[in-house]
Structures are given as C-alpha cells and as structure tokens.
Structure 1
Amino acid sequence: MAAIHIGISGWRYAPWRGDFYPKGLTQKRELQFASRAVNSIEINGSFYALQRPERYAQWRDETPDGFVFSVKAPRFITHIRRLRDIHKPLANFFASGILELKEKLGPILWQFPPNFQFNPELFETFLQQLPHDTEAAAALARQHEARLNGHASMKAYGKQPVRHAVEIRHDSFIDPDFVALLKRYDVALVIADTADKWPYREDVTSDFVYLRLHGAEELYASGYTAQALKRWGDRIDAWHHGTQPEDAHLINPKQKPKARKSREVFCYFDNDIKVRAPFDARSLLTRFHLDTQLATTPGQIPAEGVLP
C-alpha cells in the first residue's frame, strides 16, 4: 500500500511553546521534536521568502528516516506575479534548496489567493512549466538569476518524482475544464477544509491526494471533534484504497479518477492558532496506527539531551 502522511503546516509557533512543545525545549530543537510526533510537515516559510540550500539540508538532517516534507511554493509567483512572467522566479525557487531534501521531498503546494480567477490559458502555461522529476527540477534551477550565484542548489541527487498540488480559493475554478487540466498534467487538487470560507471540492486528479485542514468552524483556530476526525479518517481511508467517498463533493462528477489499488495521501492540519493542529494530527495518526511507527511519542521526548 502507498503511504499515509499526516502532519502539520509549519512548526515554529510561539503559542505552542509550553503546550505542544514542553517547557525548556529550545527553539532550535522544535523541528526535531515535531518530526518525531508526526510523520510529515509542510514547510511554509518558503511561501514568504526563498530559503537557503543549507537550511533545507539542515531540516533534512534533523528529521528521522522516512520523514517527508511538503513545500509551499512562493507567494511571489502565485500572489504577486500571479503566474505571469514566472520563468526566472520558478528557476529561483527550485534553486533555493528544495532538492537538498533529497528522499524527504514530498509534494509542492501552490496556493492561490481568493481574488485569483481561473484563466485556462494562463493556468495551462503555468502547469506546462512545472518539472515532474528532480532531474527536470535541477535543469530548471540552473536557469536561476545571477543574484543566487553561490547560494543555489542545482543537483538532482538521482531521479525521483516531483509532485504538485494546487489549492484554489475562487469559485471560478469550479469548472470541469480546470479538473481536466489538472488530470492532464498530473497535478493534485488540494482538498481544503476552510470552515466554508472558500470552495471545497474533492476531485482526484493525480496518483496522490493532498488535504489541508484549516479548521472545522473557525479558520486557522478551531479543532476537530472526535466525530469530525473519524469522518476525515474514513475519507482518507477511501482515497488511500484507490477509491473515493460515496458522497464526494466534485467539480466534475462525470470525470472518474483512474482505478488504483492505493493512493498516497498527505494530510496537514493548519488550525494552529489555538494549538490544535499537532494534537489533531496525532489523533488521526493513531486512527491509522501510524503513531507506533514514529521514532517516539511527544511525552517521551526529553526537553534536553539527545533525541533518538
């Protein structure tokens, strides 16, 4: 069976200190702690600014074997350039160090702002430029701007897939042509629970499924009840087994996903304001008995000393 990855969006939050993170745990060891409590984390600092190769390498080294990072792509591309004239920004992003994650590199998340409307031609041009393996990503990285000279990562470290997921926040994307484009370019539609603020759809358009759970009732804040987590667990179980929920909320009900024995699933909790995300993630990991596969449990991680 393909893997199930359940985790959190980011890990450096002041309100978590003394709650999820035990008192006495230094800030520099928070990733080490979090990566032993969940089996995947979505890097979101990359959304706000280009990171450095040495930072990605450090994150890779601080996390256990089998751990996976997803990476949030720069808002400079999606929110500022709004997909126009983005060849060099794309090259800069792929040169910024994500390839240094090596075997721990998961999907790349492309989140679009609420006022970004679906333009089929523009969006297809964007999808055409996305690399789908590390060798293609390294080739694109070598076209970076000169300002990255001396601070660029351009090595593929072998050929492995590079997957992409798109999170939409405008009703104009509720269009069968959008689903067809994602399927054509093997890009996943992010299944985003946003407390009914933005569109929610569950079309399966790739060989993996990507979920972002921003809060059941209050965006970025409210936690998920045991009943809600059971519902999400049931849906993940269906996607993981290559099917889809019987009541799937689809843009195009006529376009069925390809039959598969299993699908890889990535699920990230982003309800971080009230320190619900890591505990909700732990509950869902337990549902799939994935907590037993982690290096240790949060309560066993010492505030100081050597991590396993």
Structure 2
Amino acid sequence: MTVRIGLSGWQYDSWRGDFYPEGLAKRRWLEHVGERFPAVEVNGSFYSLQRPSRYRAWRAAVPEGFRFALKGGRYLTHMLRLRNVDTALANFFASGPLELGPALGPVLWQLPEQVVPTPEVLDAFLAALPRSHGDAATLATGHDAKVAEPATTTEHARLRIDHALEVRSPDAVTPEHLAVLRRHRVALVDSHAGDFPRFVHDTDAPLAYLRLHGAPHTYHDGYAPEALADWASTVRRHDEAGRDVWVFFDNDAERHAPWDALGLARLVGRPQTRSDSPGASGTTSPAGSTT
C-alpha cells in the first residue's frame, strides 16, 4: 500500500518568500511542489471545467510517480445536488482529467452542509461514477458543447479510478448512507477542522482520504507536534489495514500547510523529497509551524 502526504492546492501568493523562494517564478511553483511532495489536490477542477492542455502541463511539471487528486466539479455537488448528473459527469471527464494518465489519483466529491442526499440519490450518483480510465473515456463521449476540446483518450484504459466523498452534515452519515458507500467502496473523507464535524467510518474502500484544515481556526491554524503525532498514528493504522492513504493539508491561510505536511511525513517515516528541510531550499517555516 502507498502513503501520500501532500497539499490541497499550490497557487497561494502568501507562500512566496516562505515555502516558495522569493525569486521562483509562479509558473514553477507546481514543479517546486513536485520536488517535495508525492501528491497534490487540485482545487481548480472544483470551480470550473479545465482544459486538456492545462492537465497536460500539470503532468509535465512533476516527476514520475507524482499523483493529482481531483476535486469533482461543484456544479454536480452544489447545484445539481447529485441529481441528473449524466451530462455534467461526462463534461467533467471530457475536460481533461484522463490527460494525467497514471498521474491521476482519486476524485474527491465534496458536499456542502446544506446538501444531504437521500440514500437513493447517493446510490444512483455513486453508481454513475467511472471506476477506470476506460469507463471514464466512454462516459466522456456524452459531453455537450460546454467542452470545446474534449479529451477521451483510452491509452490507460485499465487504470483504476477511486472516489471519496466529503460531507459536512451528520444527516448524510446515517447507517443507510454508509451502507451505500460500502456497496460502492467509496471512501468517506476524514475531514478535520474547527467549524465542521469530523466523521470517521470504514466503508470498505481501498483508500483512506484525510483532509486536514486546521483547528480551532479552520484554514488558519497549524498542527502542534502532539497533534501531528496523533495523525501519524492514524495514517499507520490505515496503512496496516491495507489501504492506500491520501493526506492533504488545507490550512493554507497562514502558510502552515507545507510545513505540517513535511512534518507529518517525517513522523510517518515517509520522506517526501530528496531534500525536505526548510533550509535546503533557502526558505524558512512560519512561526508556530512544526518544522
């Protein structure tokens, strides 16, 4: 099994002069991330359909073995609320994710607090999700005119696609909802923050997906050494249980995310890079961080 500890997003101007060296061009920030982490969570795919050329550029910027977890489009989760999603799903996968090839990691579907699908709606949505690159390419042929440059390659048809669901309401974590997740082997995200609840349930998925937003001040607070040690124990338990483990730090507002991610990786015993100490790149960690 694999353990990948990375960042939720990478285009944060406030990180310049801290995680990113002052003189490093913004177009090279992803390359910098790829030298220090094995994975990143893509936020742009959540807000709008991307272009195949952008996915190809992302893939070219990182080393072999790097993985991109994609956030599924909010149009499906926040507007359609998981209903009547066939064309929207086709558009999402036609917009370029398959251009990542083997670098494509799991897809995260994030529900807002006010969206609580019935178990029946959730079941239909999860049943529609493609489970391989070949399935996704077939699904993508149903795109509409919103995708001007469709990408439906089947070069890596047999590669698996895993999915994870993040919810914010206890009403979306009933025994009936969990039974649906288990039937489809979709992971329930273990999401930690200061202003929404944490749900920890085994759904028989082949992966564990952790998102660490910081607490008590969501997005702003870093994790103390003791807290990181607790998360390291959680990661080890998932790894020992035979799950692929994906951990993404989203406490980006005060620049804690990269340093916390590197700190957790050291505790887990999975060095992230050839040179992951702050001094190695000429940068320093922010006050209060764990490095």
Question: What TM bracket, shorter-length normalisation?
Answer: over 0.9
1:50 Cα deviation (Å)?
0.6
Contact 2:82–2:117 (Cα < 8 Å) also in 1: no
- CA displacement at 1:301 relative to structure 2: 4.5
The answer for the alignment partner of 2:201 in structure 1 is 203
1:283 aligns with 2:263: yes
Confirm or deny that 1:213 pairs with 2:217.
no
Query: Offset at 1:37?
Result: 1.5
Confirm or deny: 8 A CA contact 1:33 1:301 kept in the other structure.
no
Alignment-derived partner of residue 230 in structure 1: 229
Distance (whole Å) between structure 2 residues aligned to residue 7 and residue 229 of structure 1: 14
Distance in 1, Cα, partners of 2:39 & 2:267: 16
In the alignment, does 2:247 pair up with 1:267?
yes
Q: What is aligned with 1:134?
A: 133
Deviations 1:47-81 (A, max 9, x none): 11111111111111110111111000111110111
Shift of 1:44: 0.5
Cα distance, 1:147 vs structure 2 = 3.6
Asked whether the 8 Å contact 2:7–2:39 carries over to 1, the reply is yes
Cα pair 1:168 1:199 within 8 Å, conserved: no
CA drift at 1:125: 1.1
TM-score by length of 2: 0.93
Correspondence for 2:188: 189
CA distance, structure 2, for counterparts of residue 299 and residue 156 of structure 1: 43
How many corresponding residue pairs?
280
What is the match of residue 145 of structure 2?
Answer: 146
The correspondence of residues 104-143 of structure 1 with structure 2, limited to 5 A, is 104-143=103-142
AA partner of residue 217 (structure 2): E
- The percentage of aligned residue pairs carrying the same residue is 40
Matched residues in 1 for 2:193 and 2:117: separation?
19
How far 1:295 sits from its partner (Å)? 4.2
Query: Where does residue 64 of structure 1 map in the other structure?
Result: 63
Contact map agreement 2:81 2:117 (CA 8 A) in 1: no
Report what 2:273 is aligned to: 294
1:302/1:154 CA distance change after superposition, 3 Å: farther
- What is the distance in 2 between the residues matched to 1:210 and 1:61? 25
- Tell me the alpha carbon deviations over residues 69-105 of structure 1, each in whole angstroms, 9 at most, x when there is no partner: 1000111110111112211110000001111111111
8 Å contact 1:64–1:295 — kept in the other structure?
A: no
1:289 Cα deviation after fit:
2.8
Aligned to 2:5: 6
The 3 A distance-change label for structure 1 pair 225 and 23 is same
Q: 1:168 to 1:286 in 2, by over 3 A?
A: same
**1:187-236 deviation per Cα after TM superposition (whole angstroms, max 9, x unaligned):** 000000022x2231211210110000011211111000000000000011
TM-score normalized by structure 1? 0.88
Letter in 1 for 2:185: D
- 1:38 and 1:285 in contact (8 A); partners too: no
Q: Over the residues paired in the alignment, what is the CA RMSD in angstroms?
A: 1.4
Report the residue type matching 1:140 in the other structure: L
Deviations 1:4-43 (A, max 9, x none): 0000000000110111101100100000001112111000
The alpha-carbon distance between structure 1 residues 145 and 194, as it changes in their structure 2 partners (threshold 3 A), is same
CA deviation profile, 1:249-295 (whole Å, cap 9, x unmatched): xxxxxxxxxxxxx211000000000000000000011113322x524
Aligned to 2:154: 156
Aligned to 1:241: 240
Structure 1 gaps of 5+ residues are: 243-261, 304-308
- The structural deviation recorded for 1:296 is 3.6
Amino acid of the structure 2 residue aligned with 1:270? D
Which range moves more in the overlay, 104-113 or 78-87? 78-87
**Per-residue deviation, 1:110:** 0.2
Q: Equivalents in 1 of 2:154, 2:190: separation in Å?
A: 29
SS of residue matched to 2:106 = strand
